[in-house]
Amino acid sequence: MSTHLHQHSSFKQYFLNLFHAIYTTVKGMYITFSYVWGVKVVSIEYPEVREVLPARARMRLFNDAENCISCTQCAMACPVDCIYIASEKMPEGAEIKKTTSGSPIRLLLTQFTIDTALCCYCGLCTTVCPTECLTHSHDYEFAQYTIDAMKYDYLAPDVRAWRDRIVKA
């Protein structure tokens, strides 16, 4: 590059600097201008066009309550303590169901709530889950008006219904 910064300014130097400024600016403008034609648009027009997320993308958590064995490992692994689990002994004589992976469900899950507003999406809870019922789904549009609405009770019927539209198995 022929551009240099000159400490001692003289009459000649002044015009030389001016020339370099214009020359390099024109060069930069040329680079910018070359993007006007022939370069395809890189941005996505979001609400109309949606990006396909990678398979591992970590979005809203979802717990498949049918498969949960109330082991509370996820709650222990959570660094921000946003998972609330409560369970009690199975009532006498109730048949012991099994999860899809074959482990018996010995405890009755009475509460499984995740405060999504607290969640830091680190994914540590999903890695410790023995039955793989707690997963990150691909839902990312879940803004709410109140912070309380971010608490999801995964035993509630409306939240359970998410299961049908979960992308990731």
Q: What is the per-residue binding string for other proteins in 119-158, x denoting contact by CB under 8 A?
A: -xxxxx--x--------x----------------------
Piece in contact with other proteins (CB under 8 A), picked from 3-11, 92-100, 109-117, 156-164: 3-11
Closest approach, Cβ 39 to other proteins, in A, equals 10
How many angstroms separate the Cα of 15 from the Cα of each of 3, 19, 104, 148? Answer: 13, 6, 85, 66
Residue 117 in the binding site for other proteins (CB under 8 A)? no
By beta-carbon proximity to other proteins, the closer residue of 11 and 35 is: 35
Q: Within positions 55 to 94, which residues make up the interface with other proteins, using CB under 8 A?
A: 55-58, 77-79
Position 169, amino acid: A
Buried-state track 63-73, b at ≥16 Cβ within 10 A, e below 16:
bbbebbbbbeb
Task: Give the residue, chosen from 9, 14, 28, 72, that forms a contact with other proteins under the rule CB under 8 A.
Answer: 28
- Strand blocks (E) in the chain: 61-63, 83-89, 107-115, 134-136, 151-153
